[in-house]
Amino acid sequence: MRKRIPISLLTILLCFYNIYNGELAFAQSAQKAEVVQTVKDTRYTVTPVDEEWKNLKTHADMVAVCQLPDEFVENASTEELFDAVMEYPMMFDLFCYDTLSIGIEEVTKQFNGLHELLQREDFAKILKEKYQEQEIPKAQHYNYNNVTLDKQDTILQDKSTREKVYRDFYDKSVSLLEEALFTQKGVFEQYSALEQKEIIFEVLDKMDKREASVVYDYSATSEFIELVYITDVNYDIQRMVEKVCDMKIADFKADSISTYPFGATTLSSKNETVYVKTPNGTKVKCIRYANNKKNSNELVLQTKNQYPSATVVENGYSGNNCHAYAWAGRQDIWMNDASAYISDGSYKKINGRPTANGQKAVWGSGCHSGIVMDYTKADPMVTSKWMGNCIVRCPASITPFLGTITYYKRNKSVC
C-alpha cells in the first residue's frame, strides 16, 4: 500500500531548502549538463516506437528483445551502463507495481542491464552524478487533450506520435527512477554525510520544479521522499532526513497528499477503512481513498504505446487496484490481499486452462488478479487493473506481472 507525503511536510521542507540552499556550497554551482533522453540514440534494436514492436506477442518476447548484449554488459563503464539502463524500452513495467522499489526488484529479475548495474562498485557514485545532472521537463512533446479510448489505435499509427508519447514517458520517469534507486539496500549508506545532504536538497529542488511543471500535473512528487520517509523500511535514511531537516517523523504523518504521477493514491486522515465480503461471507479489509482520481489520457496512450497488443478499456482510477476490480467488482476501493476469496472456499483452483468467461486469473503468489473475458483463445483474454493505472484487456501472457497464471472458478458447492 502506497503512503503519501503530507502537505505540511512538503511546505516545511521546501521552505527549509530555500533557506539552506543559499548557505550550502555544493559542487553543483557549475551549470548542469542538459540530459536529453532520445529514442534513436539507443542500444536497443527494437523499441515501442518501431513498427516491429507490434510483432512481439508476449511480455516474455518484449523482455527478451530488450536484453543488452553480453559483451556490452561486461565491458561497458558504469556510466555507459547507467545510460543504457535509463533507456530500457520496458521501463513502463517498473511503474506497474505498488511502489517503484517493488518494480525495481521485479524488473531486476528480468533485465540483465539493471541486474549488472546494481552490482557495480561505483554505482552509487554514478547515480548521484546522473541525478544531479538530470533536468526536470517543463513541457510535453504531445498534446493529450484530444485522446479518447476509441482513438488510441488510430493515434498511434503515426510513428512520430509514438516517438513523442515514448519520449514523454521517459522524460517524466527517469528522475523518479533515479530517486527510487537511492533507496535500494546499501546505496544511500555509501555517501558521506555531506553527500547525503546534497542528495536530499537536490530532491527538494526537483520537487519544487515538478510542482511548477505541467508534465507532473503541478505535483511536487518525489519517489525518494515517499519511499524512505513515510515508510519503515528505510529507517536509517529517515533518521538522516530528520537530522537534515531538524524535524521528527511523527510531525509528518497527520495528513498527506497524492503525488504519484502514474495513478497512485493518497493516504490521509480522510481515507476510510471499508470491508467487502467474499461470496461465503468472509470480510476483506480495503481502503477507500479520499482522492480517488480518474487516470489521465496521457497514461492511456502511454499504456497502449507500450503494449500494442493490449487495449485500454477504461482510464481507471488512482485509488483502485487489480484485486478490488477483479474480485469485488469495485473501482472505488483498494484491496491489498484477495487471498480470502480462495482460502474460505468461495473459489476453487482450476487445473489448467480457464473453462468459462468471468473466472479469475491470479499471477504468481497473488501479485496480480484479472478476469477471464475469452477463455476460448489459445492465450486467454483477460481484463485487469494494472495496479493504480488503467484497466486493460489483453492476452494473459502480455501483462507485465511475473509468475505462473492460475485460474479460479466459483465454488458453488460451498454455501
Identify the pLDDT of residue 253: 39
Identify the pLDDT of residue 261: 35
Identify the pLDDT of residue 26: 40
> Where exactly are the structural domains of the chain?
7-252, 272-410
Q: What is the pLDDT along the chain (415 residues), one digit of tens a residue?
A: 444 445 455 555 555 555 545 444 443 433 333 333 333 344 799 999 999 999 998 999 999 999 999 999 999 999 999 999 999 999 999 999 878 888 999 999 999 999 999 999 999 999 999 999 999 999 999 999 999 999 999 999 999 999 999 999 999 999 999 999 998 888 988 999 889 889 988 988 998 899 899 998 888 777 777 776 555 555 667 676 666 666 554 444 333 333 333 333 343 557 899 999 999 999 999 999 887 889 999 999 999 999 999 999 999 998 899 999 999 999 999 999 999 999 999 999 999 999 999 999 999 989 999 999 999 999 999 999 998 899 999 999 999 998 999 999 999 875 4
Identify the pLDDT of residue 269: 57
Query: Count of CB atoms within 10 A of residue 296's CB?
Result: 18
Q: Which amino acid is located at 287 in the chain?
A: I
Identify the pLDDT of residue 15: 55
Identify the pLDDT of residue 312: 97
Identify the pLDDT of residue 335: 95
Identify the pLDDT of residue 231: 53
Identify the pLDDT of residue 10: 56
Rg, the chain, Cα only: 22
**Closest C-alpha to 14, from 157, 207, 189:** 207
382 Cβ contact list (under 8 Å, min separation 6): 361, 370, 371, 372, 373, 393, 394, 395, 396, 399
Identify the pLDDT of residue 234: 59
Q: Angle at the Cα of 98 (from 94 to 101), degrees rounded to 5?
A: 55
Identify the pLDDT of residue 225: 75
Question: The cell 533522453 sits on which residue?
Answer: 37
Identify the pLDDT of residue 218: 85
Q: Angle at the Cα of 109 (from 264 to 137), degrees rounded to 5?
A: 45
State the number of CA atoms in the 13 A half-sphere of 271 facing the CB.
24
Identify the pLDDT of residue 270: 77
Identify the pLDDT of residue 31: 35
Name 370's bridge partners: 361
Do 293 and 318 contact (CB within 8 A), yes or no? yes
